[in-house]
């Protein structure tokens, strides 16, 4: 039997477990409208996806994952609660020399249920943990919701908060913005000169004198951006204790109970995160009620910040402890905000995850 057939068999074994958990099998198209993904992630997605052009359907992408089309279909036609599963190829462009496949099979599970999101998180994690238990994998958890709450709690403008939220999944850019908004690093010299010029003259005049327009932005949009830069320069720095609280938050990495204690410590200086920390504690209790040894779980406050950018709450992954070179065998999380975007304002709490069966096969496979 070929290696590909073996991998498919691993995927189908996981699929059957998901179906046994009450999931409906769905089969989204391989070619997906590019506009949806570009609206969600901006032009950055082009570096990670395969793009093509169709004379009738316009710009399309080979499916980079299943979650977005499953959410679209559910928001258009689905009832709540709902459980879905799927199996098939996804396509991701990889950097030269990375050794990672650009085409591989995913099998996944998605749960749409707003009655008790914390309980839904525990249900999904416990389902994955039960399926993967024979593999002896190392689970890890995080909570993007706590970091989002920390940004929301900052004493600064909504414009700055929006910038930080956009870059939660770009850790270096996020830290650079935090340093600049806290007054620790000066703005780039070119920006400082532009702001100084715009203080004494209308932004529209500066744009008009700059020469022919290059790119897709209109003169009005560029002038608005200049005015926003001036407004940002006039904002006072974010208070040092608030910056330090977020920095302390991002460094938390410990067993879940110890991580909870450190989150409580950060909440003393940044009380706006307290509701998110309470939710984290309730999730640990829900996991324990599902038979998960929550005290042994590894928690990292920044976990999940380098994945696709729709997770906004609980996140998890399962790793081969003796193969640190491998990506997670399974991963997932909560993506409530994505349902709001794709549901035209109507949101349904949702959580899910995927398994990579080629990694299961590489590690010896699930017992039959």
Q: What angle do CA 29, 32, 37 make, to 5 degrees?
A: 140
Regarding whether 17 and 127 lie in a shared domain, the answer is yes
Give the model's pLDDT for residue 190. 78
Regarding whether 166 and 114 lie in a shared domain, the answer is no
- List the one residue out of 246, 261, 260, 349 whose CA is nearest residue 302: 246
Cα 368 to the center of its chain, rounded Å: 33
Give the bridge partners for 103, in sequence order: 91
Domain boundary among the residues 191, 211, 238 is at 238
Provide the token pair at 191: 């920006």
210 in any annotated domain: yes
248 in any annotated domain: no
Regarding whether 179 and 122 lie in a shared domain, the answer is no
Provide the token pair at 207: 């744009």
Regarding whether 123 and 10 lie in a shared domain, the answer is yes
Regarding whether 225 and 166 lie in a shared domain, the answer is yes
Q: What angle do CA 367, 109, 27 make, to 5 degrees?
A: 105
> The domain that contains 334 carries what CATH number?
3.30.930.10
Regarding whether 183 and 123 lie in a shared domain, the answer is no
Regarding whether 173 and 122 lie in a shared domain, the answer is no
Question: CA-to-CA distance for 291 and 130, rounded, in angstroms?
Answer: 10
H/E element, 77? helix 67-77
244 in any annotated domain: no
Residue with tokens 């050794």: 99
Give the model's pLDDT for residue 1. 39
Q: Order the strands of the 58-62 sheet from edge to edge.
A: 31-33, 58-62, 51-54
Per the structure, the complete domain to which residue 224 belongs is given by: 159-238
Regarding whether 72 and 111 lie in a shared domain, the answer is yes
The tally of domains found in the chain comes to 2
pTM: 0.88
Give the model's pLDDT for residue 56. 86
Task: State the virtual CA torsion across 186, 187, 190, 194 in degrees, nearest 10.
Answer: -110
284 in any annotated domain: no
Residue 319 — φ and ψ, nearest 5°? -125, 150
37 in any annotated domain: no
Give the model's pLDDT for residue 309. 66
3 state DSSP class of 70:
helix
Domain boundary among the residues 179, 203, 238 is at 238
Give the model's pLDDT for residue 129. 97
3 state DSSP class of 120:
helix
Give the model's pLDDT for residue 343. 84
Give the model's pLDDT for residue 216. 62
Residue 187 — φ and ψ, nearest 5°? -70, 160
Regarding whether 225 and 344 lie in a shared domain, the answer is no
Domain boundary among the residues 208, 238, 268 is at 238
358 in any annotated domain: yes
68 in any annotated domain: yes
Regarding whether 123 and 16 lie in a shared domain, the answer is yes
List of the chain residues with pLDDT < 50? 1
Dihedral sign of CA atoms 220, 224, 229, 234 in order: positive
Regarding whether 176 and 133 lie in a shared domain, the answer is no
Regarding whether 217 and 118 lie in a shared domain, the answer is no
> Do residues 135 and 329 lie in contact, with contact meaning Cβ atoms separated by under 8 Å?
yes
257 in any annotated domain: no
Quote the strand ranges of the chain, DSSP E: 24-25, 31-33, 51-54, 58-62, 82-91, 103-112, 138-143, 253-255, 298-300, 314-319, 330-334, 350-355
DSSP assignment string, 308-333: -TT--SEEEEEE-TT-TTSPPSEEEE
Question: CA-to-CA distance for 98 and 94, rounded, in angstroms?
Answer: 7
């Amino acid at each position: 039997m070929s290696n590909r057939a073996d991998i498919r068999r691993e995927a189908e074994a996981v699929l059957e477990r998901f179906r046994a958990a009450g999931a409906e099998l769905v089969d989204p198209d391989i070619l997906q409208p590019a506009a949806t993904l570009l609206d969600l992630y901006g032009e950055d997605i082009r570096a990670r996806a395969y793009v093509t052009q169709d004379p009738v359907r316009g710009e399309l992408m080979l499916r980079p994952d299943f979650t977005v089309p499953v959410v679209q279909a559910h928001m258009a036609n689905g009832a709540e609660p709902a459980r879905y599963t799927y199996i098939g190829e996804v396509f991701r462009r990889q950097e030269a020399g990375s050794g990672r496949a650009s085409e591989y099979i995913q099998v996944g599970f998605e749960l749409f249920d707003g009655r008790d999101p914390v309980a839904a998180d525990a249900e999904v994690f416990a389902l994955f943990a039960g399926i993967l238990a024979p593999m002896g994998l190392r689970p890890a958890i995080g909570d993007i919701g706590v970091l989002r709450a920390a940004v929301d709690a900052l004493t600064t403008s909504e414009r700055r908060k929006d910038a930080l939220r956009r870059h939660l999944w770009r850790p270096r850019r996020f830290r650079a913005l935090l340093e600049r908004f806290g007054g620790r690093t000066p703005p780039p010299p070119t920006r400082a000169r532009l702001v100084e010029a715009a203080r004494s003259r209308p932004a529209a005049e500066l744009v008009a004198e700059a020469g022919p327009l290059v790119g897709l932005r209109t003169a009005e949009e560029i002038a608005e951006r200049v005015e926003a830069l001036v407004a940002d320069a006039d904002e006072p720095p974010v208070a040092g204790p608030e910056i330090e609280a977020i920095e302390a938050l991002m460094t938390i990495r410990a067993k879940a109970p110890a991580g909870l204690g450190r989150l409580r410590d950060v909440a003393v200086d940044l009380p706006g995160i307290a509701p998110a920390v309470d939710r984290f504690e309730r999730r640990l209790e829900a996991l324990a009620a599902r038979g998960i040894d929550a005290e042994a779980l590894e928690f990292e406050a920044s976990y999940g910040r380098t994945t696709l950018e729709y997770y906004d709450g609980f996140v998890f992954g399962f790793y081969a402890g003796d193969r640190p070179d491998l990506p997670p065998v399974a991963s997932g999380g909560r993506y409530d905000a994505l349902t709001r975007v794709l549901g035209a304002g109507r949101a349904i709490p949702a959580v899910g995850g995927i398994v990579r069966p080629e990694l299961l096969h590489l590690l010896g496979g699930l017992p039959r």
